[in-house]
Structure 1
Amino acid sequence: MSLQALRRGSGPQFSAWRHLVGKQLPARASLLGSLVPASGWAPDFLTPGPDHASPTTGAFDAIRATPRRRLAADLRRLSSHHRLPAWTQLLADGDRETLDAVADTLAAYYDAAVTPFVDRVRAVLDADRACRVHTMARLGVGAVLAGLHPQMRWQEPVLELPGPPGQGQINFHLEGRGLLLSAHIFCGSRPRALLNDVGTPVLVYAPAWNPHGSNLVAEPPDTRPRTSTALATLLGRTRAAVLEALASPAGHTTKQLAQSLGISPASASEHVTALRAAGLVTSLRQANTVRHTITALGAGLISTATGTTAPATPSARWPDRLP
């Protein structure tokens, strides 16, 4: 998905990321370009399921172990939409050396395009998850599903998804398997459903973005005196209480935070702004409400100050959806 985001050039939040990654592509990146079109379907063997969703859970090993039958089927489907270079026939035949070359190149690409930005990705996903948890608690699963995309419609027990242009309606039956919702930073505007060929059906959607930080690449640190002042005042009693209050998995709105701590909304907003400037808090707009949640850095600060285990951030319980 990140390869498609890199190629299609859409989304201002990816502009700085594309500029940086474009200068660090691995030498054999053309292998990936042949397999991953700028839009539309990409071979499923490149995206292992939930059990192997990240490098730490064996994603690249799973790709290297792809059966020949799966390779042939995926490449046959891809060739019906795009003309493939001659070397992909070796891949379709199950040639291990060719498959290893693809996996090695994908791993090198991951190191350039994803690894340096993991903290930023986690902050976006954590904030999005906090909002979905809050919506689930208040309004139920139907509101969560309907809020994932403007064109999604929930008519229990049917969920209607926006499909690719020119394709008619396709029906999927979950048959009691449930549905895993997975926010993905590179999903693009249209949700993607992985339903029929996996044990756990997955709905991948684009997370909402933090209105105070709209780029995947974080802005360089502000070295002006006001930043140092913000960091120096973090040890104040009220600001520490604000940080601890925001360690709640669902986070708080400014109004909720003020009521919880017995301070004015203006004071709560001021403290949140300072904490956000220091990278300890993130904020996410949902409709007319802005919800604030703690970042991994903020959780670590609490842990260091209190000598306790850091509060679990949402990303600790969600499998990575990369590459």
Structure 2
Amino acid sequence: MSMIEFAPADLVGLRLAHSPLVEVVTSGFALNRPRETWLYGSWAARVRPLLAGAGLRTFLAVISGPTCYVPDFLTPVPATARPSLAEELRVVAATPLDRVAAEVAAAWAGHPAPPEIRRFDTDPAGGLAELVRQVQRYFELAVAPVWPRLRAAAEGEIAYRARLAAEDGPQALLAGLHPRLDWDGSALRLANGKPGQWSLDGQSLTLLPAGFAGPRVYPLTAGPAGRALWYPPRGYGQLWAQAAPAEPSAPLAALLGSTRAGVLTLLAVPASTGEVATTLGLSPATASHHLTTLRNAGLVVGERVGHRLRYRRTALGEQLSAIDGVRIDGR
């Protein structure tokens, strides 16, 4: 069991953010550990041919070392809630070279390292520059096509947690965060995690929802910019199974009608009008009509993310979506 000392006073410094580099690294896990990350099978099948011959040997060697350790410098804790990839890569590029060399070597400790890894011993500056270039290329090929939905899922998670904190206090940020995670008021305990005990050492803890995190929680317990937890956002499965959206419960369908109930259920992950229409097989006009009706009823709200307007469930919409097997006539 992993344990991070975390007292009530530490709630003040708790933050949420969405990191492109965390999505990059966790997507690498999805490629390298197919048995653990079967959910991403269709994505991986599309991506692997694109990566073949793309000149990414340094990046792939760094994130797939035999010790299962990924260098911490590659995923710096974001300074802002919504950093761009370029902003994060500037932080990576400024990492002290002795730290770069030490952490890359740790990923291959006790194992024969390929030339791309050995380069960091003799030319850490050149190795780091090449790694940054390859991360950018990998993102363009593998992550950018699904980035709008990754960002939307994270935005929905951040908004949901913010509402909980506003309504029930900051401790609600940790309530129900993940089935394997428990907070007892003095420490965060991660079941089935790597054994160890850490403290925040006066630094903040940042929660980083990541669509590629799968069913796991990943603690980042060391680093000059603070501590972090990577975890899957609510409804993350719908990011990868758009052909088979979740069915609304019978009581919800009886209350709202099957189509509107389907739209509200789908919005476990924020979506645009076009995405709702495509996923549920509706015309854009019909999808827009149902979204407008749900918005006017206070069940969803539209938020602009980049150039797109995406809809997410409100607190009332969340509560209504949770009904299952309850007699709506009150008996």
TM over 0.5: yes
Deviation at 1:48, TM superposition (A): 2.9
Q: Give the conservation status (yes or no) of the 8 Å contact 2:50–2:141.
A: yes
For 1:78 and 1:182, how far apart are their aligned partners in 2?
Answer: 23
| Selected match of 2:93 from 40, 60, 64 | 64
SS at match of 2:321: strand
Quickly say closer, same or farther: Cα 1:87–1:126, change in 2 above 3 A: closer
Specify the alignment match of 2:187 in structure 1: 158
Q: Which string of whole-angstrom CA distances, capped at 9 and with x for unpartnered residues, describes residues 7-45 of structure 1?
A: 212445423321222121162222222111288320122
Give the 5 Å matches for 1:1-323.
Answer: 1-9=26-34, 10-11=36-37, 13-25=39-51, 27-37=54-64, 40-51=68-79, 54-57=84-87, 59-80=88-109, 82-164=111-193, 167-168=194-195, 170-209=196-235, 213-215=238-240, 222=278, 226-231=282-287, 233=289, 238=293, 241-242=296-297, 246-247=301-302, 280-282=310-312, 290=321
For 1:223 and 1:128, how far apart are their aligned partners in 2?
Answer: 21
Q: Give the conservation status (yes or no) of the 8 Å contact 1:117–1:217.
A: no
Read off the aligned partner of 2:91 and give its amino acid letter: A
Read off the aligned partner of 1:290 and give its amino acid letter: S
Deviation at 1:107, TM superposition (A): 0.8
- The alignment covers a number of residue pairs equal to 257
Task: Kindly report structure 1 stretches of 4+ aligned residues shifted beyond 6 Å.
Answer: 216-221, 284-288
Read off the aligned partner of 2:33 and give its amino acid letter: R
SS at match of 1:87: helix
* Structure 1 alignment gaps of length 5 or more: 250-277, 292-323
Q: Give the conservation status (yes or no) of the 8 Å contact 2:61–2:116.
A: no
Specify the alignment match of 2:262 in structure 1: none
Q: Give the conservation status (yes or no) of the 8 Å contact 1:21–1:112.
A: yes
Q: Give the conservation status (yes or no) of the 8 Å contact 2:182–2:190.
A: yes
Of 280-289 and 39-48, more deviation after overlay is shown by 280-289
Q: Give the conservation status (yes or no) of the 8 Å contact 1:146–1:152.
A: no
Quickly say closer, same or farther: Cα 1:176–1:229, change in 2 above 3 A: same
Quickly say closer, same or farther: Cα 1:226–1:36, change in 2 above 3 A: closer
Q: Give the conservation status (yes or no) of the 8 Å contact 1:68–1:93.
A: no
Read off the aligned partner of 1:32 and give its amino acid letter: F
Read off the aligned partner of 1:246 and give its amino acid letter: V
Deviation at 1:176, TM superposition (A): 3.9
Specify the alignment match of 2:271 in structure 1: none
Specify the alignment match of 1:260 in structure 2: none
Quickly say closer, same or farther: Cα 1:41–1:224, change in 2 above 3 A: closer
SS at match of 1:92: helix
Q: Give the conservation status (yes or no) of the 8 Å contact 1:183–1:204.
A: yes
Q: Which string of whole-angstrom CA distances, capped at 9 and with x for unpartnered residues, describes residues 109-143 of structure 1?
A: 01111122121112211222233223323444444
SS at match of 2:129: helix
Deviation at 1:216, TM superposition (A): 7.1
